[in-house]
Amino acid sequence: MIDKFHRFGTEAAAVELPRQFTCPFCYEPHPLALMAVEQVQRYVASRTDWADEMAAGKMLGVLVAQDSEGRLGFLAAFSGNLAGSVHHDFFVPPVYDLLDPQGEFKQGEALITAINHEVERLERSPRWQELRCEESRLRAKMSAEIADYKVLMNQHKHERDARRQSGHLTVEEQEALLNQSRYEKAELKRMRRRHEEALLIITDEMGAFSRQIDALKARRKAMSEALQERIFRLFVVSNARGELCDLVEVFRPLGTLPPAGAGECCAPRLLNYAFNHNLHPVCMAEFWWGASPVGEVRHHGHFYPACRSKCKPILDFMLQGLDVEENQLGKPMMDVDLDEVYDDQWLTVLNKPSGMLTVPGKLLKDSLLTRYQEAYPGVTGPIVVHRLDQETSGLVVFAKDKVTHKALQQQFENHTIKKCYIALLEGDVPQDEGVITLPLRPDVDDRPRQRVDHVHGKPAVTRYRVLERGNGHTRIALEPLTGRTHQLRVHCSHAMGLNCPIVGDRLYGTAASRLMLHAQSITFTHPATGNTMTLTADPGF
């Protein structure tokens, strides 16, 4: 077997080892990880046979480790497959090989494909097409004949009404008119019945086809679900304690099967290989190579955290037994006082620091709201009028009573509240000002990330104005005209937006000490006094 552990040269000896292993969801790459990444990038660049596929975009990862003798080296991995294979000399193998032609996945996939072909054969059969055309013809004929007959019946009704209004009808004539009406109504029913009987012959045969097709589709669904579970049983991962667990059991506490693609990302592959080959993990990093996927924000050479929906449950298990850095995004902020910008008997405006939640989260309860409630125990809810991302700093308005809260929320809904953000971007924005219109929706496979989606996304509009350029950065003012999650971050970083990520954006750019995005000013009508209020807070960067 080819050794996947690439040992460092003497250059690594001078680098101090990290005290704890990397938190895969919030990190800055360690110098050893950067050294490993440089070697991986050189190797990938040398593979001209992969050039087109790599240029289209691929997530790569490294894991720095020590062998049993304490020697340093690294492992490398890619997500998914590369050049039609999951096995390449330089990279660790997958947790389970989905592409093995003799493997259970390919065998099961072949059976499902055979059902797909049978469904297609039935749906494309000449007799099925004939039946559909004949049904359509008969229904059209029935509609036309019934419509024509109803016109005739209506004409006769008007004639009968006119004769009755003349007042010169004998009893026999009146009975004849009534019989004509009865006959025509009965004939309409007979006409419907004749058409329905003709249709029934066709629909009965069509029903037989449909039942065959539906049965095949139901069988296909059941086989697909069973295959999915069997395959995820074959994705068996290790942790630092030497424990083993398949992905079905990993995801069981969440009450769901693993999502498609679970276990195929870099981090699980790297850790699994390390644990199975007696290597002690030291640090890791994942980076993007090539063009950004459509709708997503990925920048060539930038580092990214592990995805949460597919990888977090797996990594939570695999990292057990390792001393892992604390996720700074889940850590309460200490020694931070409330920065009060404005306060009266109706509302308070606070300057939220970067890194603090606006409201309590699932895991972290410390937030601007909880601290506000501690400082203002007499305030009754509802309180929160709007929110800022955890990593965004700036002005947040809290209402002290229900009436004020409702009035302020109404201003937000009517877009009469004006907010201005200051951001420092990586790169030079060429235009001095403009408007970005990129619709957004959540990335269901990697929350809380957002995607640009022109079909299913919600409208998102941002006005911008460049304030200053220099040293490869742009200082910019951003006015969101809508309030979508991560709107400013995506609009700045996406290739169809400004294509310049906000400095410190760990999700859409490059992580740093903080996200350089600050809600600098807010303008609204005071619900009680009617005065126009404009409040500001310096960004501090």
Coil, helix or strand at residue 85: strand
Closest CA to 497 of 444, 430, 442, 441: 430
Residue of 246, 389, 401, 505 with catalytic role? 389
Provide CB contacts within 8 A for 287, sequence distance 6+: 37, 59, 60, 61, 301, 302, 303, 304
Cβ atoms 39, 5 nearer than 8 A: no
C-alpha span between 346 and 399 (Å, rounded): 6
CB burial of 271-299 (b: ≥16 within 10 Å; e: otherwise) equals bbbbbebebebbbbbbbbbbebeebbbbb
Instruction: Please state, as a whole number, how many other Cβ atoms lie within 10 Å of the Cβ of residue 60.
Output: 23
C-alpha span between 511 and 507 (Å, rounded): 8
- Helices 126-166 and 171-234 pack at an angle, to 10 degrees, of 150
C-alpha span between 424 and 503 (Å, rounded): 6
- DSSP 8-state symbol, 359: S
DSSP β-bridge partners for residue 281: 65
**Six token digits for residue 414:** 């009517």
| Cα of 52 vs its chain's centroid, Å | 26
H/E stretch holding 375: helix 368-375
C-alpha span between 341 and 143 (Å, rounded): 72
Instruction: Please state, as a whole number, how many other Cβ atoms lie within 10 Å of the Cβ of residue 149.
Output: 15
C-alpha span between 317 and 313 (Å, rounded): 7
Coil, helix or strand at residue 406: helix
H/E stretch holding 170: none
Q: Is 335 a catalytic residue?
A: no
Closest CA to 134 of 204, 69, 190, 53: 204
Enzyme catalytic residues:
389
